[in-house]
């Protein structure tokens, strides 16, 4: 491809000028208007001293201003640094210092933490809201040009969650993101008449690439929701006639379990996309039966822009599978020694293709460990492949529970728990144990109006899996900790004190 990602928006402005690009409630921004605003945003950054290669941090929720600021930064030749709007001062300071950001554009609702973080990091902070940003952009003339950036130049630095250490900034090039968006658009057969549901955070790779960039490539409309709520989502689907729903498993579970979901008209949906975490089969089957729309599950990670594999709309779909590698991308499974494993055997997923990151920002050792010779990205995810070439995620390497020398895959146990009619959500985690090393623990959220006991759920699983696999420790929670995308954060799950007793591992 070899050019600035922002050129996709410029082209969309010419081809789809009067069509809606972004919808946010009653606010509609056409492609012509979005292109003009991004040109003004580019000029505004240049006036404030931002040049090619400078880092501009964006701490903005799912509002039209995110798209304006992001494409404005890219048009100016800057590198965008998306920042989670839920971050606190300490997290903001790290990201600004590590990326050496020249400027932080922050939503006014984030003012307290954003200003404190920027002040400590020594970064200029510009607070934005819809009205104020509009005035600022209106005060400058648009710059119709687009900075000449090569396809290999860095466009965005996405910081990983830091579950295994301090966060690392994945450097994604213009070609990384552009190729992934174009391929995803082709797979979904996304057209200019499509309306895409936009609750996935734009500061994450899933929402940014699959939602924003892909919609721009197709000339489709992205209907934004700043914070996911099942009832509000059902209203949005009905009001805007959403055709493509992009979400994470927790969103599908919430829609399915909403007590009034049958009252809303969701007949406009033609396709649903799930990613970021494994989709429980019971949720998939229940949702498709209730909403009459197929869910296509895929797999990706920030370091791969993010889409790696997908179930195709025009091919055999295998429930529970993450599908086949997308066009131009290769996948293989290897053992701990780096040797390819046979069909049906579990191995770590390696990925190679135009979507694989350049490396981690200013971390050459971590980059060399992640992207090994031959250009293969080590994902840390475990999967098996069937005879037809379809991949099935087994677990994260770090989520494997080793109980008395036996490997227990958390996802397998979670799938069984989801089969119980009282279980709304669950997470299986390792609990340190003096005798068996790690004990299998399960925290469960029950459906409203349902009841169950720990013993009942323990026995339910025990009847369905090998003796070493079932969770000896089961406890309940009102909710599970989740990240901005709705993905369950196992690292934040608290194990109740006194839960572990000598009898619990019998």
> If pLDDT is split at 50, 70 and 90, which confidence band does 163 have?
very low
Q: What is the pTM of this model?
A: 0.85
pLDDT of residue 164: 42
Reported as a single tens digit per residue, the pLDDT across 83-142 is 989 888 888 999 999 999 999 999 999 999 999 999 999 999 999 999 999 999 999 999
pLDDT tens readout for residues 348-404:
999 999 999 999 999 999 999 999 999 999 999 999 999 999 999 987 777 888 887
Proportion of the chain above pLDDT 90, given as a percent: 80
Q: What is the pLDDT of residue 72?
A: 98
Listed in sequence order, the residues at least 6 apart from 290 whose beta carbon sits closer than 8 Å to its beta carbon are: 256, 261, 262
- Specify which residues 437 forms β-bridges with: 403, 433
Q: How many residues does the chain have?
A: 506
How much is the pLDDT for 506? Answer: 54
Residue 257 is given by DSSP the state H
DSSP lists the bridge partners of residue 464 as none
Give the separation between CA 457 and CA 423, rounded to whole angstroms: 9
Which pLDDT value is given to residue 397? Answer: 75
Mean pLDDT in the chain? Answer: 93
Q: DSSP secondary-structure letter at 330?
A: E
How many angstroms separate the CA atoms of 367 and 359, rounded? 5
Structure confidence at residue 503 (pLDDT): 43
Q: 180: closest CA among 357, 29, 306?
A: 306
Domains and CATH numbers, the chain: 7-325 (3.40.50.12780), 404-505 (3.30.300.30)
Classify residue 49 by burial, with Cβ atoms within 10 Å: 0-12, 13-18, 19+. Answer: exposed
pLDDT at 185 over 60: yes
Whether the ω angle into residue 306 lies within 30 degrees of 0, i.e. cis, is yes
pLDDT score of 408? 84
Which three-class secondary structure string do you get for 10-42? Answer: HHHHHHCCCCEEEEECCEEEEHHHHHHHHHHHH
Q: Each residue of 219-248: b (16+ CB within 10 Å) or e?
A: bbbbbbbbebebeebbebbeebebbbbbbb
Average pLDDT estimate for 428-449: 90
CA angle 74, 75, 80 (to 5 degrees): 15
């Amino acid at each position: 491809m070899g050019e600035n990602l922002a050129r996709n928006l410029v082209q969309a402005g010419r081809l789809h000028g009067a069509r809606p690009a972004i919808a946010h409630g009653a606010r509609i921004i056409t492609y012509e208007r979005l292109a003009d605003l991004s040109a003004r945003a580019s000029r505004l950054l240049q006036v404030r001293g931002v040049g090619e290669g400078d880092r501009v941090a964006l701490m903005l929720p799912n509002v039209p201003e995110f798209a304006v600021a992001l494409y404005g930064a890219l048009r100016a030749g800057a590198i965008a640094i998306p920042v989670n709007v839920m971050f606190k001062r300490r997290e903001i300071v790290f990201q600004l210092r590590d990326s050496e950001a020249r400027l932080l554009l922050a939503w006014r609702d984030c003012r307290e933490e954003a200003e404190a973080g920027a002040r400590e990091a020594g970064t200029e902070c510009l607070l934005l809201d819809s009205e104020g940003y509009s005035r600022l952009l209106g005060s400058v003339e648009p710059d119709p040009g687009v900075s000449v950036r090569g396809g290999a130049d860095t466009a965005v630095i996405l910081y990983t969650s830091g579950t295994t250490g301090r966060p690392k900034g994945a450097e994604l090039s213009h070609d990384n993101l552009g190729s992934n968006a174009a391929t995803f658009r082709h797979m979904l057969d996304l057209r200019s008449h499509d309306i895409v549901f936009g609750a996935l955070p734009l500061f994450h790779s899933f929402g940014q690439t699959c939602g924003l960039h892909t919609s721009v490539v197709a000339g489709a409309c992205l209907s934004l929701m700043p914070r996911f709520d099942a009832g509000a989502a059902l209203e949005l689907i009905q009001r805007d006639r959403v055709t493509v729903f992009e979400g994470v498993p927790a969103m599908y579970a919430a829609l399915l379990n909403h007590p009034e979901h049958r009252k809303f008209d969701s007949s406009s949906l033609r396709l649903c996309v799930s990613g970021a975490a494994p989709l429980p089969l019971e949720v998939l089957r229940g949702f498709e039966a209730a909403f009459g729309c197929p869910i296509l599950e895929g797999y990706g990670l920030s370091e791969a822009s993010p889409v790696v594999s997908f179930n195709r709309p025009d091919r055999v779909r295998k429930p529970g599978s993450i599908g086949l590698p997308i066009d131009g991308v290769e996948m293989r499974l290897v053992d701990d020694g780096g040797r390819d494993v046979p069909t049906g055997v579990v191995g770590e997923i390696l990925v190679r293709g135009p979507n694989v990151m350049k490396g981690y920002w200013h971390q050459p050792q971590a980059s060399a460990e992640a992207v090994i010779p031959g250009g293969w990205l080590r994902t840390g995810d475990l999967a098996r492949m069937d005879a037809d070439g379809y991949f099935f995620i087994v677990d994260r390497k770090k989520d494997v529970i080793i109980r008395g020398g036996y490997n227990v895959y958390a996802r397998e146990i979670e799938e069984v728990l989801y089969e119980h009619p009282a279980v709304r959500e669950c997470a299986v985690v390792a609990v340190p144990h003096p005798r068996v090393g790690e004990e299998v623990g399960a925290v469960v959220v029950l459906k409203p109006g349902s009841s169950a006991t720990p013993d009942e759920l323990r026995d339910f699983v025990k009847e369905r899996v090998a003796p070493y696999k079932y969770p000896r420790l089961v406890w309940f929670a009102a909710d599970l900790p989740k990240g901005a995308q709705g993905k369950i954060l196992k690292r934040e799950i608290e194990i109740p004190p006194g839960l572990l007793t000598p009898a619990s591992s019998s």
